[in-house]
Amino acid sequence: MARRTKKSRGTRRSAIDDRRRPPRSAATRLWLTRFGVTFGTLALTLWAGAWFFLSDADSKTANWIRQGVLGVTADMGFSVANILVEGRVNADREVLLAVLGVQKGDPLFALDPAAAKEQLERISWVKLAQVERRLPDTIYVGLQERRPLALWQKDKKLRLIDAEGQVLTEDNLKKFSDLIVVIGEEAPQKAPALLGLLTAEPEIARRVQSASWIGGRRWDMKFADGTLVQLPEEDVGLALRRLGQAHDEDGLLDRDIVSVDLREQGNIIVRTRPGMVQEYKAGLRAGDKNI
């Protein structure tokens, strides 16, 4: 009678180890990756050390050592294959690349991220920049661009400005033609406050074509249909609300008027196209007074 072979219980330790051990090809790739990162870190340390210790030495010697280290790292695969830029909307791509001064195939460690960040933030469109080397072959650039606010007219020439009064560009302004034109020496600094108040009155804002800073004290707004709106020195938001209320109640802005004077608190002085001047009391209901 044949003996019944006893089944082994559990799993042999060698089988567990075999399952835990990654395939030889995967292990090789993992080893190469770890070696590459370690070597790259070591090479970068050597290069930085050479720059530091030899900065006072013969410049040709220091440069020769730096170039040698960069050449070795490039041969090991630490060369630029990708330049990744995020956050670019209006900044010129060619200008960004020119400022970076890096091309595909260049040694990755040849780029100084801190210096590149400083140079990028000198571009008018760029408010903040982030520059990183990403091993083994990528340069990453993250941008926070300035947002266009208005067109500033000075010396009969238009310039695009942001909310801080920074001039962004004087070229290719056609796509920004829907922005309000501000006029006056101090207009770039004063415009953000006015435009912020106009966001609360969209019916008025959509009609405004330009705004002139008058006498360093107050604004005159010009509508697209030619209507002039004179704003007070103070309580501009309240004046705009009175005008918006008058339009909501009586369709004031759709009438055939030449100018609206809001400089006197509580009153709206309206000049009609034939030349008649009438006073519109803020808060009157539609129909209480004809204009």
Average confidence (pLDDT) over 281-286:
45
Average confidence (pLDDT) over 143-172:
95
56 contacts 112 by C-beta, under 8 angstroms: no
Q: What was the pLDDT predicted at 287?
A: 36
- Its CATH class, for the domain covering 148-281, is alpha beta
Average confidence (pLDDT) over 15-33:
50
Closest of 78, 99, 73 to residue 88, by C-alpha: 99
Average confidence (pLDDT) over 80-95:
95
Looking at per-residue pLDDT, the higher value among 169 and 70 belongs to 169
Domain borders along the chain are 23-75, 82-145, 148-281
Confidence label for 109 from pLDDT (cuts 50, 70 and 90): confident
Average confidence (pLDDT) over 63-67:
60
Above 50 in pLDDT, residue 247? yes
Residues of the chain with pLDDT > 90, as a percent, come to 59
At residue 95, the 3 state secondary structure works out as helix
Q: What was the pLDDT predicted at 289?
A: 38
- C-alpha–C-alpha distance, residues 222 and 39, integer Å: 66
Looking at per-residue pLDDT, the higher value among 40 and 142 belongs to 142
Closest of 126, 134, 137, 167 to residue 149, by C-alpha: 167
CATH fold label, 82-145: Ubiquitin-like (UB roll) (3.10.20)
Alpha-carbon dihedral 67, 68, 70, 72, rounded to 10 degrees: 160
**Average pLDDT value over all residues in the chain:** 81
Closest of 269, 265, 205, 200 to residue 237, by C-alpha: 200
Above 70 in pLDDT, residue 163? yes
pTM of the model: 0.71
Helix (H) or strand (E) holding 228: strand 228-230
What's the number of CA atoms in the CB half-sphere (13 Å) around residue 141?
Answer: 26
Helix (H) or strand (E) holding 222: strand 218-223
Question: pLDDT tens, 120-155?
Answer: 999 999 999 999 999 899 999 999 999 999 999 999
160 contacts 123 by C-beta, under 8 angstroms: no
Weakest mean pLDDT among 63-72, 104-113, 212-221, 226-235: 63-72
CA distances from 108 to 25, 55, 60, 157 (A): 27, 21, 21, 43
The number of helix segments (H) and strand segments (E) in the chain equals: 8, 13
Alpha-carbon 51 to chain mean position: 34
Task: Give the contacts of 241 (CB within 8 A, at least 6 positions apart).
Answer: 200, 201
Closest of 141, 110, 107 to residue 123, by C-alpha: 141
Above 60 in pLDDT, residue 65? no
Q: What was the pLDDT predicted at 92?
A: 95
